[in-house]
Structure 1
Amino acid sequence: MSGYNRRSFLKVSGTALGGIAVGSTVTVATADERFLVDSKKTSKSEAEAAGLDVAHDLPEIDTLVVEGAESDVEALGVDYAADSTYSLDLPFDEEQVASEDATDEPYYSAQWDKQAQNIPDAHEITRGEGTRVAVIDTGVAAGHPDLQHAVNEDLSQDFTGDGYGAAGPYGGYHGTHVAGIVAADDRNDAGAVGSAPGTEIVDCRVFSPSENAAFADIVAAMVYSARIGCDAANLSLGSYPASRKENGSFYGKILNRTTSYAKNQGTVIVVAAGNDSADLQHDGSLISLPSEAANVVSVSATGPIGFNQGDDGLESPTYTPAAYTNYGTNAIDVAAPGGNFDDYSAGWFYDMVFNAIARPQFDADGNYVGASYTHSWIAGTSMAAPQVAGAVALLRSQRPDLNANKVRKRLRNTAEVPEEFDKTYYGAGELNTYEALK
């Protein structure tokens, strides 16, 4: 892959990123498939009596997710919209990225993201004990050595209905990397470090091995996360650009109900802002879902250039806005370490975020037969969001009395915009986890 510079690489492949916003679009389901229904004036029993199958009953937000003919949905006489799917634009294959064996290096030395946040000092205050974080993603590998201590398999849930279950990387390695950033074990003398290794992880899987994630399943996972008392729910996913027209109004209503419910339950919803290099504040009739919903923490990405590549110091500091990140002063709450990249000189991947991954394996019939557990570098706002979710766990562990709004306010008030960069990339500023605890 030599010979590409940053601009040409972005043009060719979308990014060197984890996340689902790069190049993704909202694809509306056909009219005879799946629908979200406003249930304020109907009920599950009435929907079933109309011949519809109910996939999710979400009374907390007055919403049903039903499957069947659109004519049967129309007969209910209530507001509805077709479900849509989000595509997962995965980063490059880590085996291509990790051309050097990370296991030959001290793992923490590769984690500029944790160094920049003073995570070891934060752990002198709290490791996140007594808290719970939902990871709404491709699935979290409970068997990974860095996550065995953290994943609550009993509470973990599969929202796809594909039959594989939960607490495994059935939809890909992305969710395990996200969970590792939050909670990788700091006391097993191996692997990487998470921001809040004392927290509990709940796997809420919304991606199948070969399918997209349904908007309705994501909403159901958010409601579930709040219902079971998660301190934070991490969504390293999204779709951009989506039109504010078409289903935008209905989706916005459902999202706002969902995030309001989560806020009232004390759950902080943390969302990746996306990887399109887009100005979310000046994009007209377009919207990024769900990062532009109310009551969420929208996170942009930062990262260094030149980390661990010699004695001359960094070409750009760790708080440099990432080449790919979406931005917009009022569209972003905080920035956090998500990884960066410049060119393909030796060691360029050190500027990305290093943590756990689990690569699923299937036989010819599609049966899951296990996973390979390792670590690697990935970059994206997908990696920035769980830095914030981990900070929420630490803060809530220290101050369980803080409600969701006060947690968000603390994170914003202790963040700072670097003098040498434009605030449009940072919202309130760069995440300062240790300062938030102090």
Structure 2
Amino acid sequence: MARHNRRSFLQLTGTVIGAATLGAGTATATTSDSRFFINLRDVDRSEVPDDVEIIHDLSQADVLVARGDQERVNGTTVADRVINRGDDRTGAVKSRSGPTIDGKGSSHNHDGAPKNSEFQWDKRVQDVSNELTDKPGGGKSIHDTTTGAGTRVAVVDSGVYDGHPDLAGVVNDELSENLSEDDYDWRPNGAGDHGTHVAGIIAATNSNDGPGGGVLGTAPDTEIVSYRMFSGEEGKQGDGYAGWVKAAEAGCDAINYSVGFPAPYVYPDDYPFLKEELRIAEQVAAYVRSQGTVIVNSAGNDGLDMTPESTLSLPTEADGVFGVSSTGPIGYGWGGKHSDNEAKWLTGNRLEEPTATPAFYTNYGSAVDVSASGGNADLEALSSNPDAANDLVYSTVYETEGDELSPAYGWKAGTSMAAPQVSGAVALVRSLRPDTSVEEVESLIQETASSAPGGETYHGAGHLDLQQLVRTADTRGRGRGGGN
């Protein structure tokens, strides 16, 4: 099947699939309204001028997010950067709308319109639950051992729409917070449904009682805390780091941060500020880890070799950040002789590429700790065959009509979708072994990861293997007197 470079991909999808586009995020080269970071390891707090406004006090990590005249601060400062989700480059692919929550969708085969869970190849291949329809009652599943109960995951993103039936009761509205400088709450405010899609991958409950059913997350009994860092299409890195610190102090087991600087803002020779940005990220990450919270980050969607000698992809390459690359199938439920039979969508000779194949867009290299399902695409097919979107990741979204939001489902692809697979896995581990350290959780995920096409370059320690992970965590937890 055809492969295309990023430029040709954008030319194809820009006119074919017309929904919001969100992926790992993109940073502009501009500064953020005179906002900047002050590194307290180089600046005495008492010497910060009184007319410099402190937006976020992250002194736990020796960092301040400030506004004012940066030149008046003697010592190390670096501009707070804008992350723009209105740019066409923000996603690996353009989003595609799916059925509404009432189950209205086109018929795909002899048994009528598909159930929403039939599109969830990412959960089916991991045997997350026998609620999924490919093998009901077919042996023990992940959720027979744990559903993530007793855990908490922060989604630092564009906000989470909790009006979706599969996210009802999932979001902690007391801890959730708007970290941007607008006057609204932690729910989406102009940056689209990226955070809602991510939250569904982690914790959707399959509670929609419409004819199409719902979708199911990796850890449906975990609690989501929504920290909104985007106001309109723009977010600021400093607001994201404030979310990291708040999440750690709220006792979150994991932070899902599907945000980062893409090319060209990865070349320190061209953009020297990246080296100071790296210091800030590492200081905040070190504090967060000291509080017991795992930081899970999307590796980026530029097909970039992340080698420290020539690139600096932030925050993935910062010490203390767990980087996740993306994989996906080609041919899920389309283009083959079994495309009319959902029971065979993950079997037989129908898949041109298996689900652990590196996605065409994913960043790779030494900063990748593991890979996970983020979606893939045959770009020629995607431009002409609606069913080719099945290779993307299907989750909770919303539709907008005026000021009103209504729940729906849709497809996205990117390392943004791979990271929450791992954040959900952290919740599963911590539900079985609550006292496991950050280092132990990360090691468990890496030790139990499976081999996959492309090897270490694309997968780090390997491809996320929930079955082996949960089995190992459960066994070790029971050995220490834990477990469910």
Q: With the length of structure 2 as denominator, give the TM-score of the two structures.
A: 0.81
Query: CA separation in 2, counterparts of 1:249 and 1:277?
Result: 22
Q: Which residue of 2 aligns with 1:193?
A: 216
- Count the aligned residue pairs: 417
Deviation (angstroms), 1:97: 11
Pair 1:424 & 2:448 matched? no
Q: Which residue of 2 aligns with 1:207?
A: 230
Query: CA separation in 2, counterparts of 1:392 and 1:20?
Result: 20
Deviation (angstroms), 1:370: 2.8
Q: Which residue of 2 aligns with 1:172?
A: 192
Query: CA separation in 1, counterparts of 2:438 and 2:361?
Result: 29
Residue type of the partner of 2:71? S
Query: CA separation in 2, counterparts of 1:192 and 1:204?
Result: 23
Query: CA separation in 2, counterparts of 1:142 and 1:209?
Result: 18
The answer to whether the 8 Å contact 1:334/1:431 transfers is: yes
Q: Which residue of 2 aligns with 1:79?
A: 76
Deviation (angstroms), 1:170: 4.2
Q: Which residue of 2 aligns with 1:339?
A: 375
Secondary structure of the equivalent of 1:250?
helix
Deviation (angstroms), 1:9: 6.5
Equivalent of residue 42 in structure 1, options 41, 44, 47: 44
Q: How does 1:332-371 map to 2 (within 5 A)?
A: 332-342=368-378, 343-344=380-381, 345-360=385-400, 369-371=403-405
Q: C-alpha deviations, 1:279-312, integer Å up to 9, x for none?
A: 112x743211111111121001111111112424
Deviation (angstroms), 1:78: 2.6
Q: C-alpha deviations, 1:357-415, integer Å up to 9, x for none?
A: 024555xxxxxx33121001111111000000001001100111211100000000000
The answer to whether the 8 Å contact 1:271/1:297 transfers is: yes
Pair 1:126 & 2:141 matched? no
Structure 2 unaligned runs (5+)?
14-20, 130-140, 339-348, 472-484
Query: CA separation in 1, counterparts of 2:367 and 2:204?
Result: 30
Residue type of the partner of 1:333? D
Distance 1:97 1:424, change over 3 A: farther
Structure 1 unaligned runs (5+)?
363-368
Query: CA separation in 2, counterparts of 1:138 and 1:409?
Result: 29
Pair 1:276 & 2:276 matched? no
Distance 1:9 1:247, change over 3 A: closer
The answer to whether the 8 Å contact 1:141/1:169 transfers is: no
Q: Which residue of 2 aligns with 1:293?
A: 318
Deviation (angstroms), 1:422: 3.4
Q: C-alpha deviations, 1:294-353, integer Å up to 9, x for none?
A: 11210011111111124242111111111111111x221000000111132351011111
Query: CA separation in 2, counterparts of 1:335 and 1:188?
Result: 30
Distance 1:380 1:100, change over 3 A: farther
Deviation (angstroms), 1:199: 0.4
Query: CA separation in 2, counterparts of 1:37 and 1:97?
Result: 47
Pair 1:109 & 2:134 matched? no
Distance 1:384 1:101, change over 3 A: farther
Pair 1:244 & 2:244 matched? no
Q: Which residue of 1 aligns with 2:52?
A: 52
Query: CA separation in 2, counterparts of 1:274 and 1:14?
Result: 20
Query: CA separation in 1, counterparts of 2:389 and 2:189?
Result: 23
Q: Which residue of 1 aligns with 2:341?
A: none
Query: CA separation in 2, counterparts of 1:165 and 1:113?
Result: 31
Q: Which residue of 2 aligns with 1:365?
A: none
Q: Which residue of 2 aligns with 1:260?
A: 286
The answer to whether the 8 Å contact 1:304/1:317 transfers is: yes
Secondary structure of the equivalent of 2:29?
strand
Distance 1:149 1:370, change over 3 A: same
Q: With the length of structure 1 as denominator, give the TM-score of the two structures.
A: 0.89
Deviation (angstroms), 1:186: 3.2
Query: CA separation in 1, counterparts of 2:409 and 2:106?
Result: 10
Query: CA separation in 2, counterparts of 1:168 and 1:341?
Result: 27
Equivalent of residue 364 in structure 2, options 327, 343, 358: 327
Query: CA separation in 1, counterparts of 2:235 and 2:309?
Result: 26
Distance 1:155 1:96, change over 3 A: closer
Deviation (angstroms), 1:169: 5.3
